[in-house]
């Protein structure tokens, strides 16, 4: 997993990378720069959420019946 994150950090805007990696950075960058990355990650996030909800509902069903 860390290798995946290292590969993805090169695609982020430099202002955002500097803010999260430089301890001396005080001013936050415009977070709207991250919108394309968040927008493209939403289908994966909803898929993971669906699997988790399915797992929890089946677990409760099996535990009580």
Give the pLDDT confidence of 15-53 residue by residue, as tens digits: 888 888 889 988 888 888 888 888 888 888 899 999 999
Residue 4 clears pLDDT 80, i.e. is over it: no
The answer on pLDDT for 12 being more than 90 is: no
In this prediction the pTM is 0.50
Q: So what's the pLDDT on residue 1? A: 46
The whole-angstrom separation of Cα 11 and Cα 29 is 16
Query: What tens digit of pLDDT does each residue of 54-64 get?
Result: 999 998 888 88
How many C-beta atoms lie closer than 10 Å to residue 15's C-beta?
13
Tell me the three state secondary structure of residue 1: coil
């Amino acid at each position: 997993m860390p290798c995946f994150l290292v590969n993805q950090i090169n695609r982020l805007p430099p202002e955002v990378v500097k803010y999260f990696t430089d301890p001396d950075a005080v001013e936050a960058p415009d977070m709207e720069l991250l919108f394309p990355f968040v927008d493209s990650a939403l289908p994966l996030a909803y898929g993971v959420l669906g699997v988790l909800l399915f797992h929890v509902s089946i677990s409760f069903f099996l535990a009580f019946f």
